Amino acid sequence: AQTVTQSQPEMSVQEAETVTLSCTYDTSESDYYLFWYKQPPSRQMILVIRQEAYKQQNATENRFSVNFQKAAKSFSLKISDSQLGDAAMYFCAYRRQNYGGSQGNLIFGKGTKLSVKP
Partner 1 sequence: DGGITQSPKYLFRKEGQNVTLSCEQNLNHDAMYWYRQDPGQGLRLIYYSQIVNDFQKGDIAEGYSVSREKKESFPLTVTSAQKNPTAFYLCASSWGPGQRTEAFFGQGTRLTVV
Contact between 2 and partner 1 by CB under 8 A: the answer reads no
The reply on whether position 30 binds partner 1 by CB under 8 A is no
Count of residues binding partner 1 (CB under 8 A)?
A: 25
Nearer to partner 1, 3 or 12 (CB): 3
Each residue 5-24 as x (binds partner 1 by CB under 8 A) or -, in order, gives ----x---------------
Name which of 19, 38, 27 is nearest 97 in CA terms: 27
Residue 28, C-beta contacts closer than 8 angstroms, at least 6 positions apart: none
Shorter beta-carbon distance to partner 1: residue 15 or 26: 26
Binding marks (x or -) toward partner 1, 85..114, rule CB under 8 A? Answer: ------x---x-xxxxx-xxxxxxxxx---
Closer by beta carbon to partner 1, 85 or else 118: 85
Residue 41 interacts with partner 1 (CB under 8 A): yes or no: no
Give the pairing type, strands 107-108 and 112-117: unpaired
Q: Give the residue among 111, 109, 112, 105 at the shortest CA–CA distance from 32.
A: 105
- Dihedral angle of Cα 64, 9, 37, 48, to the nearest 10 degrees: -10
Could you say which DSSP state residue 44 is in?
-
